[in-house]
Amino acid sequence: MLGLEKKDFTLLLIVFALTMLAPFLLNPFPEGSAMAQFNAGYPDLMQRFVIFGIFAIGFNILFGLTGYLSFGHAAFLGVGSYAAVWMFKLLSMNVLPAIFLAVVMSGLFALLIGFISLRRSGIYFSILTLAFAQMMFALAYSVLTPITGGETGLQLALNDPRILGTSATATGNIPVPSLFGLEMRTTADLDLGAWGFTFNVGYYFCALVMLVAFYLSIRIFRSPFGMMLRAIKSNQQRLNYTGLNPKPYTLAAFVISGMYAGLAGALMASMDPLAGAERMFWTASGEVVLMTILGGVGTLIGPVLGAGAIKYMENIISKINSDILHTWFAFLPDGLEDFVVAMIYPFIGKGWHLTLGIIFMLVVIFLPGGLVEGGQRIARALRGRKTTDDSGKSAKTEPAE
């Protein structure tokens, strides 16, 4: 169905179910319980899961399929955010025109940067993309302040000359992003016993956009264009010997990947109409690299899993403090309780990056295929299949997509 093979269509259905049921799946613990700290089913975090999932899906098309590692993809995330906010300021608070402009602008910037950067490959390409991103960050932060707002960021104001909408609501407030009148911040609550679930319009809009982006990535992976990108990653020199020019394909992959990043930036601005230069900093580019590697480079669902894992740790693990730890281990004798808390505390709160680093190191060493390979191994173990061939060597692991 939908032009997909059975395996790919099943994977799309799984992603659909996970996104649509996220308010339930991410709130497994009752409110008020000690474990409620690990619930992640609130709108802002769920939006981040799917938005950065889109960002990682697009990056995977360039890195996972083509083999080109970009350290400057956050530049397109920032361009998309700025373009969306300017559309809100000048035209309308409808999110669709903002998303359209953001995707087009990020695609144009990707075309320009890719045309120059793709003249080199390997580490030289990576450094070029990093240099372009840092130049764009510097321009947004201090040079183009009338356009970008500088260090305070680009925000909506009551005097914005909005052509197809009002500059202020009847109550004198700034309008909020909406989809044909349906505000992105609209929520509905459902209480079932000790559990509370929140359903947010903005989240479900982002989730539907992510599903479309995921579907398009599947079509790209399975298309002749995707096969050409795989050939480029495998051995570009041999491809040149066949008489085929890989440059148009790599540039197309770079532009598509940049447009995905611009789409993610537009959705970030649609949920919170603010664009800042920090979204273009090199750390944001490094974050999407971690997401893709952690989930599984070259797989379909891996980048989505990696994005969810990192954003979960950033927003949940980082909020755990020593008081919460003392509450959890209060049943222990005083001396032992203090010792256990002292041992765990460096890995939570502000030290969540240390935990992420350890997990990333373990994944790279023991699960080169990322979380997807881990899921493969668990599935094989549950089915009772052997993981070694007759010669005693480890069987080759094929990436699950």
Q: What is the pLDDT of residues 136-168, one digit of tens each?
A: 999 999 889 989 998 889 999 888 888 887 888
Across 71-80, 147-156, 327-336, 385-394, which has the greatest mean pLDDT? 71-80
If we measure between CA atoms, which residue out of 96, 56, 101 comes closest to residue 82?
Answer: 101
CA distance linking residue 366 with residue 362, whole number of Å: 6
> Looking at the predicted structure, is the pLDDT value of residue 398 above 70?
no
Mean pLDDT of 265-274: 94
pLDDT of residue 14: 93
What mean pLDDT, rounded, does the chain reach? 89
Does residue 397 have a pLDDT over 50?
A: no
- Is residue 231 within 8 A of residue 224, CB to CB? The reply is no
Percent of the chain past pLDDT 90, that is, above it, reads 56
How many residues are given for the chain? 401
Residue in 204, 220, 219, 188 with CA at minimum distance from that of residue 267: 204
Amino acid residing at 331 = F
The amino acid occupying position 13 is L
Listed residue (276, 34, 246) closest to 140, CA to CA: 276
Cβ atoms 319, 326 nearer than 8 A: no
Global pTM reads 0.91
Q: How far apart are CA 234 and CA 223, in angstroms?
A: 17
Which pLDDT score is estimated for 350?
83
pLDDT over 50 (residue 395): no
Above pLDDT 70, what percent of the chain?
A: 96
Give the CA distances from residue 146 to residues 78, 134, 150, 151, 168, in Å, rounded to whole numbers and listed in that order.
16, 19, 8, 11, 22
Cα separation of 119 and 71, whole Å?
Answer: 16
Q: How many CA atoms within 13 Å lie on the side-chain side of 10?
A: 5
Q: Please report how the helices 122-138 and 282-295 are oriented relative to each other, as an axis angle in degrees rounded to 10.
A: 140
Position 364 scores a pLDDT of 86
Cα–Cα distance for residue pair 26/38, rounded to 1 Å: 9
C-beta separation of 300 from 218 below 8 A: yes
The confidence score (pLDDT) of residue 394 equals 45
pLDDT of residue 34: 76
Distance CA 283, CA 136 (A): 14
pLDDT digits (tens, 9 = 90+) for 211-239: 999 999 999 999 999 999 999 998 888 88
Distance of CA 336 to the CA centre of its chain: 40
pLDDT band at 2; cut points 50, 70, 90: confident
- Report the first-to-last Cα separation within the chain, whole angstroms: 17
Q: In angstroms, how far is CA 351 from the centroid of its own chain?
A: 22
What band does 248 get if pLDDT is binned at 50, 70 and 90? very high
* Both tokens assigned to 308: 């969810």
Contact assessment for residue 79 and residue 109, using Cβ atoms and an 8 Å cutoff: yes
> According to the model, what pLDDT value does residue 386 have?
53
DSSP at 198: E
Please write the tens of the pLDDT for every residue from 174-198: 889 999 889 999 999 998 888 889 9
Q: Is the pLDDT of residue 391 over 70?
A: no
